[in-house]
Structure 1
Amino acid sequence: MSEAGFHVHGPHDHELEHAARHAPESSAGRLAVVTAILATVGAIFSYQGGATQANAVLYKNNAAIRKTEASNQWSYYQAKSGKQNLAELAAELGPDSHRAAHEDEVKRYKSEKAEIKLAAEKLEAEATDWDAQSEAQMHEHHRWAQATTALQIAIAMAAIALLTRRKWLEYGVFGLSGIGIVLGALAFLHV
């Protein structure tokens, strides 16, 4: 360059300008965009994982409530069985004048026990159903957690790839991101 403002380009300057004008999108820019997208998707996956975990706990709580109710019914059933046994003993050992009344009590207790047994078995079935729903939610939660973890590792790898400018790390980012997305899709599909 001259002092009068006249500028002469050398061959090297011309090549640099050409390269700058026609350069493909930089790897750093691409990784920055991918990282932002991964962070957004990861946040959604994390939310879904938390929601399914909360559902699993709620369903497990419902199962525990039904189990307690069933246990109460079985205790009631046992109490009626004890009373039935006493009525049978009274009918057998008591005076003949009271035998008919005690036999009626035995029939009543048998009838009541049948109803109580049905209620207890229904509550046990509901508890089993709630437990199954809880297990399904926990399985889904684990899928969401795996997907979130894969995306978090991919984000960390992207930072390392940006700092070290290693192309193989960039490929690792895309590979791990793909795994995370697949795991998220499996969670979404309840697989």
Structure 2
Amino acid sequence: MRVNLKYFQLLTDAIIPLLGYFLWHWNLYFIVLFYLLDYLAYEVFSHIKANKVQTTLKREQSIAWLKLGIVSALLFIVNCVLVQLTMKAIVPTIDFTKELSAFWNYKDMGIEQGYFLLPLIAFAGYQRYKMEFLMTGLVQKISIHQIFTKHIQAQLIAFGFIAFTFGLSFLIVFPEIVYVLGIVLFTGLYQFFRK
């Protein structure tokens, strides 16, 4: 990824949750849901990349895709469940159904955010796929194993961060802003240092 594009992406990835918290009064769970939607987009586009590599290079890599795809999907589910457990440890009174509905139906400028945010995240994921994978020719140079290895490493790093936060929540519960800034800082640093 070019340096300018990398900085732009870092800025936009940080600005939406921060604007959400400070300007639109999102709570911590709203921001967590925003990141989970983005995480879902990464998961889906990892499988789309694998499919594109398999069809473009006409290589039979179905077994690799199946094995690594299952590991990736399981890690996604484990991380999502661990996030919910962490939120319950931080906010014991949280009602997930109510919060999810509030997130989806939150209105800003007369538009319910779910109808705006979901297509925005899907579009951003597609643009990333197109610019970083197709237009650079990476699709011709990468294997399914390389796609999922990088993705699974990211998931394991996320698991470590979530597990650390979960464990820490039994010792001390910080103000909401600390978690928000921690999430934004962690994801920003991870994206900055990844290759």
What TM-score, normalized by structure 1, do the two folds share? 0.33
TM-score of the two chains, using structure 2 as the length reference: 0.32
Q: Which structure has the bigger radius of gyration?
A: 1
Q: Quick one: higher RCO (CA 8 Å, sep 6+), 1 or 2?
A: 2
